[in-house]
Structures are given as structure tokens and as C-alpha cells.
């Protein structure tokens, strides 16, 4: 009997397990643009456009390859609005009750498929290097789940940058070489693509249906198929990878991309295979085109962080994205939605997020994330924001990064201490402070950088939890050495800042 093969909008590769198990002669591929997926959060319009355009082009590729593809467009009159609804409709059409799916990247959809009144088999997603079982086995019995040790196992498993059983160059990690201050100028920019007819049609649809969402739809330059994504990969390896390591943590006004890859969305939706990406980077090193610190750093992000983050998502279960270990309850301020702000770093990160649906890791972690954590914003609202605004955001990767790494809301599963900093770090790693209305040097007073005030406010209000953390003892000793009046002034000014921010006053 024929089976339905479900391909979701972030599973766009022939290698996806549901398709790899299918029989082209009798099985039917189901793909659907549905309101439920397009609106479970108010996605950035560029993200919806990328997914719909890539879905339509992938469906055509499968048809050209001889597959029977039943594709539902968002505006089709019979569109039921949900993945399960579309499976039911196609099941009746084809005369089957059997569905093969690849496990979705979100508990919500895993549960929806389990609840769908058809016989749905969810196969493991084999696009990752570690299986669920491998990650569970690695995590079992460990007190702390530190990425670095997991990463070494992934190096051994893949053989990437290995010299026999030793790491290439003698060290596993070259991060110490990767913290250079921002360069004067940037010599490359990411590859950009002119929208083809399919993409133009999708852009018109998204403009008509999702114009109220936060984010600029046009210009749209993302790759929307595997061939284009591979060109973007080659472009990155040739022009940006050699400097990736040096400037990985740097931020520069007017340079949203620096030497970053902009490949996460392509890997996350299936247009690029993570191993293929890492192998291309390793080749560049072996050919003498890129230095080891850059290539190791890049590969670690993918086979280390990306895999580890995914492992945590599935290990911790469906309640993970809603955790709030620090009991932060403040609402997300309007400046995250583009309300004018005097903080140059935040203004820049939010503006480029609105325009590009992209910010690089340090902007996400040490500007928007750092600020939300210091200000005590409810992590569920922070999670919702990150899931909405970035082109690469899917819950399996977004929530551990946001809830765990950035907001410490999982109580320290991912981060051994909170990623917090005063303005000093941002000043060292960027040129934002030069053009800011606040003074990064001022610790108190009207023009004091809000990060400086909130940093101490955070440490003070969470003293019970963090004082005993051996990596934070220094911070508390510095705080305690300040005289009482100064401490009181800082806390009072921090409170006043938070009140102004929450009242909607421009800050
Ligand atoms: P590069 O800086 O060029 O890095 C190369 C690749 O490494 C990326 O393409 C990505 O695949 C991988 N990578 C690097 N760091 C991570 C990480 N921490 N977790 C997973 N993969 C990583 N990444 C997403 O893909 N989706 C998200 O929704 C997402 N949300 C984030 C939220 C927060 C609060 C933080 C701090 C990080 C988040 N990240 C997310 C991780 C990281 O910021 C992005 O993967 C990266 O910025 C994507 O841009 P790039 O392709 O230019 O990456
Ligand atoms: C993100 C997204 C959007 C916007 N739209 C669709 C869609 O219409 N159809 C679909 O199959 N997938 C879509 N997706 C991706 C899913 O939301 C994604 O598969 C889940 O969030 C799990 O990662
Ligand atoms: Fe950001 Fe403070 Fe620097 Fe202004 S002074 S850009 S708020 S770190």
C-alpha cells in the first residue's frame, strides 16, 4: 500500500530519513504551506519567504526526479491550515492511513503528529552527527554537560581535524586566538541572490499575508535552493573563513555580517549538510587557504555547539523552553521591537535583526541576550522574541541557546555561569560605544552606560545563587570593595532605569 511521506519546511533534502526510506514507485510525498506553521509565532517575513520559496523549489526538484508530490500552497482553497489536516486530506485522496515522517525539530509538532488520527511513524532525523542515543549515553551519569568534552567525541567520530587519534596541531580548541578586537574595515560580504520567479511569487504572497510582522521583507537576498546554498558556502570558504576565527567575537557598526558564514538557516532547513560544510572548511585548511584557529573554531561551532545544543533540547523535554530558574518576570521592552533607544549597541542589533533577520552570535549573546538577562526580562518572552526574529530560528536550536546559554533559565545546564558583562566587554569588542549617547566609562550618573548599572544590579539581586560560584567570586569581591554609598547609588540608578524602560520612556 502507498504511504504518505511528510516533508516539513525545514527538511528540504533528499537525504532526510522519511524520503530515504520511501519507494518512489508507490509512495506519495506530502508538503504543505499551512497557517499553523506560519503563525505559531509571528515569524520574521524573510523567514517565511525563505521556507516557502525553498519548499516550492524542492517540491519541483522531487517532481523532476520522478516523485509524486502533493503540494499545498498557503492560498489553496482546500488548505486545512495544519500539517495533520493536510495529511488527513491527502490520506483520503490517496487511499492510505500510513504516514512516514522525520521527527520534527519542535516538541509541539512531534506531539501534533502523535495526536494525528493516522498511523504516523516518526523516524529519527539523520542529518545530525550524534543520534539521540549517543547524546543520552554521553550525558548519562555526568555531573556537568560541558560542550567541550562532547565536541572532542564528535571530532573523533567524524575524523575532522584529526591527526591519527590526536587533534590537529596538538590542541582541541584554539579559542584563545579568536578574540581579536574589531577590524578597521571588512573585506567581504555574504553572497546575495536575486530572487527568481518562484521566490518573487512567494515574496508577493508573504507581503500580502504577513505585512504586520516585525521585520523587513525586501530586499531579499537569501539562497532558496541547494545549488545556491552551495555557492554561498564556497563564497564563505573563499572570502570569509580565513578571518572567521580572528574576528568571531567582534562587532562593528554598519557591518552586520563581518566574517560570519550566514549558513545556519541553510543547514537548519536542509539546503546544506553540516558535514559537507565542515569538510569544505577542513579542505581549506589542508590546502593552506585558511589557518587552523579559524577552521577549528568554525568546525567546533557546527559539530560541537550545534550538535550539543540539539542534544540538550531532546534530552530535557518539552518543558525546557518555558523554564525560568532566576524567576525573571519583567516584560520585554518595546526597544526589542524597534522603539527608539539611546543605547547604540542595542539599537544596532535590533535594527539589523529587523532588516536582515540576522545577527551574529556575539550580538545575540552579549548585546540583546546580555541586556535581557541583566534587566530581568521573562525568559519565555525572550525565547519568543528570538524564535520570531531570526531566519535560522527553530525551537530545537533557538531555545537551548536562548533559555539555557543566554538567559540561564535552565539553572546552569548549558552555561556554568551566566553570560553577563558590563559595557566594558561591548566596548572592547565593538565600536558601538563611540557613537553612543551613554558613556561606557561612566559607572553612575545620568550618562552611565545601562549595562554598567544593570550588571551590578543583577549580581546583587542574585547573590544567594551565584556568590558561591567559583568563577564569579571575583565579581562579588569587587562589588563588596565599593563603599556602601556607591553601591546604593548604583542600585537606585539601575532601578530607576528599569522603571523608565518598563514605563515606555525612551532609554
Ligand atoms: P557563524 O558564526 O558563521 O557560525 C558557523 C555555524 O556554526 C553557524 O552557521 C551555526 O550552524 C553554527 N553555530 C554557531 N554557534 C552555534 C550555537 N550556539 N548553536 C547552534 N549552532 C551554532 N542558531 C541557530 O541556528 N538558530 C537559532 O535560532 C539560534 N538562536 C540563538 C539565540 C541566542 C540567544 C544565541 C546566543 C545564539 C543562537 N544561535 C542560533 C546560535 C548562533 O548565534 C547562530 O547559529 C549564528 O549566529 C548563525 O550565523 P552564522 O551562520 O553566520 O554563524
Ligand atoms: C517555520 C515554518 C513555516 C513558517 N511554515 C511552514 C509550513 O508552512 N509548512 C511546513 O511544513 N513547515 C513550515 N515551517 C517549519 C516548521 O515550523 C518546522 O518544521 C517545525 O517548527 C519543526 O522544526
Ligand atoms: Fe552599549 Fe553602553 Fe556602549 Fe552605549 S555605552 S553602546 S549602551 S555598551
Tell me: the pLDDT tens digits for 18-57?
A: 999 999 999 999 999 999 999 999 999 999 999 999 999 9
Distance from the Cα of residue 175 to its chain's centroid = 20
Is any ligand 3 atom within 6 A of the Cβ of residue 138? Answer: no
Q: Which atom of ligand 3 is nearest to the CA of 437?
A: 4
Q: Which of 344, 348, 233, 346 is nearest to 298 (CA)?
A: 233
CATH H superfamily, domain 4-123: HUPs (3.40.50.620)
pLDDT (tens digit per residue) in 293-327: 999 999 999 999 999 999 999 999 999 999 999 99
Length of the chain in terms of residues written:
507
For the chain, the domains span: 4-123, 132-190+240-314, 334-503
User: Which grid coordinates belong to 436?
Assistant: 553612543
**Rounded distance from Cα 397 to ligand 1 centre (Å):** 8
pLDDT at 455 over 90: yes
Check residue 458 and give its pLDDT: 98
pTM (2 decimals)? 0.98
Tens-digit pLDDT profile for residues 248-295 = 999 999 999 999 999 999 999 999 999 999 999 999 999 999 999 999
Closest CA to ligand 1's atom 44 = 361
The fold adopted by the segment(s) 132-190+240-314 is 1.25.40
Instruction: Kindly tell me the burial class for residue 7, based on how many C-beta atoms sit within 10 Å of its own C-beta (0-12, 13-18, 19 or more).
Output: buried
Centre of ligand 3 to C-alpha 345, Å, is 6
Phi, psi of 52 (to 5 degrees): -65, -45
d(CA 55, CA 68): 15
Q: How many Å apart are CA 468 and CA 470, to the nearest integer?
A: 6
Confirm or reject: Cβ of 451 under 6 Å from ligand 3.
Answer: yes
Ligand nearest to the CA of 453: 3
Where do we find the cell 522574541? 385
Q: What is the pLDDT of residue 187?
A: 86
The architecture in CATH of the region 334-503 reads Orthogonal Bundle (1.10)
Query: Ligand 1: does its nearest atom lie under 6 Å from the Cβ of 309?
Result: yes
Percent of the chain at pLDDT > 90 equals: 96
Bridge-based pairing of strands 4-6 and 98-102 is parallel
Q: In this predicted structure, what is the pLDDT of residue 185?
A: 86
Least confident of 242-246, 273-277, 355-359, 387-391: 242-246
Ligand nearest to the CA of 34: 2
Tell me the HSE value of 77 on the side-chain side, using a 13 A CA sphere.
Answer: 0
> Does pLDDT of 176 surpass 90?
no
Model confidence at 184: pLDDT above 90: no
CB atoms under 10 Å from CB of 335, counted, come to 20
By the 8 A CB rule, do 489 and 444 touch? yes
Q: Is 104 in the pocket of ligand 2 (CB under 6 A)?
A: yes
- The interface predicted TM-score of the complex, written ipTM, equals 0.99
- Tell me the CA–centroid distance for residue 385 and ligand 3, in Å: 21
Amino acid at each position: 500500500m502507498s504511504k504518505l511521506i511528510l516533508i516539513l519546511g525545514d527538511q528540504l533534502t533528499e537525504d532526510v530519513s522519511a524520503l530515504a526510506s520511501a519507494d518512489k514507485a508507490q509512495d506519495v510525498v506530502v508538503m504543505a504551506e499551512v497557517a499553523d506553521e506560519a503563525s505559531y509565532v509571528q515569524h520574521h517575513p524573510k523567514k517565511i519567504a525563505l521556507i516557502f520559496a525553498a519548499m516550492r523549489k524542492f517540491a519541483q526538484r522531487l517532481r523532476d526526479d520522478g516523485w509524486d508530490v502533493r503540494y499545498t500552497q498557503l492560498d489553496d482553497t482546500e488548505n486545512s491550515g495544519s500539517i495533520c489536516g493536510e495529511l488527513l486530506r491527502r490520506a483520503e485522496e490517496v487511499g492510505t492511513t500510513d504516514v512516514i515522517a522525520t521527527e520534527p525539530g519542535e516538541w509541539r509538532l512531534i506531539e501534533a503528529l502523535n495526536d494525528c488520527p493516522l498511523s504516523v511513524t516518526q523516524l529519527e532525523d539523520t542529518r545530525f552527527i550524534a543520534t539521540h542515543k549517543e547524546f543520552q549515553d554521553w550525558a548519562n551519569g555526568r555531573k556537568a554537560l560541558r560542550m567541550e568534552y562532547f565536541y572532542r567525541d564528535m571530532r573523533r567520530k567524524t575524523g575532522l581535524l584529526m591527526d591519527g587519534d590526536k587533534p590537529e596541531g596538538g590542541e582541541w580548541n584554539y579559542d584563545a586566538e579568536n578574540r581579536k578586537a574589531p577590524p578597521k574595515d571588512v573585506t567581504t560580504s555574504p553572497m546575495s541572490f536575486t530572487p527568481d520567479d518562484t521566490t518573487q511569487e512567494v515574496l508577493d504572497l508573504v507581503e500580502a499575508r504577513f505585512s504586520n510582522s516585525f521585520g523587513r521583507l525586501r530586499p531579499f537576498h537569501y539562497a532558496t535552493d541547494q545549488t545556491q546554498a552551495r555557492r554561498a558556502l564556497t563564497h564563505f570558504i573563499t572570502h570569509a573563513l580565513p578571518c572567521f576565527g580572528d574576528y568571531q567575537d567582534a562587532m562593528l557598526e554598519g557591518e552586520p555580517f563581518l566574517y560570519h558564514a550566514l549558513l545556519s538557516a541553510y543547514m537548519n532547513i536542509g539546503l546544506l549538510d553540516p558535514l559537507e560544510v565542515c569538510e569544505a572548511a577542513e579542505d581549506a585548511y589542508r590546502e593552506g587557504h585558511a589557518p587552523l584557529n579559524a577552521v577549528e573554531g568554525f568546525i567546533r561551532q557546527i559539530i560541537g555547539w550545534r550538535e550539543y545544543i540539539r542534544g540538550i533540547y531532546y534530552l530535557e523535554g518539552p518543558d525546557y523552553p518555558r523554564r525560568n530558574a532566576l524567576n525573571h518576570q519583567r516584560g520585554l521592552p518595546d526597544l526589542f521591537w524597534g522603539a527608539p533607544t539611546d543605547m547604540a549597541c542595542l539599537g544596532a542589533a535590533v535594527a539589523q535583526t529587523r532588516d536582515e533577520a540576522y545577527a551574529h552570535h556575539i550580538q545575540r549573546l552579549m548585546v540583546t541576550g546580555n541586556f535581557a538577562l541583566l534587566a530581568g526580562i521573562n525568559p519565555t518572552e525572550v525565547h519568543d522574541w528570538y524564535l520570531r526574529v531570526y531566519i535560522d530560528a527553530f525551537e530545537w536550536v533557538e531555545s537551548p541557546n536562548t533559555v539555557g546559554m543566554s538567559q540561564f533559565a535552565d539553572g546552569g545546564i548549558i552555561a556554568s555561569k551566566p553570560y553577563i558583562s558590563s559595557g566594558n566587554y561591548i566596548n572592547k569588542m565593538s565600536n558601538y560605544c563611540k557613537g553612543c549617547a551613554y558613556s561606557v566609562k561612566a559607572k553612575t550618573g545620568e550618562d552611565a552606560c545601562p549595562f554598567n548599572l544593570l550588571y551590578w544590579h543583577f549580581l546583587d539581586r542574585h547573590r544567594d545563587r551565584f556568590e558561591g560560584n567559583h568563577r564569579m567570586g571575583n565579581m562579588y569581591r569587587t562589588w563588596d570593595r565599593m563603599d556602601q554609598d556607591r553601591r546604593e547609588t548604583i542600585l537606585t540608578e539601575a532601578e530607576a532605569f528599569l522603571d523608565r524602560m518598563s514605563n515606555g520612556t525612551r532609554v
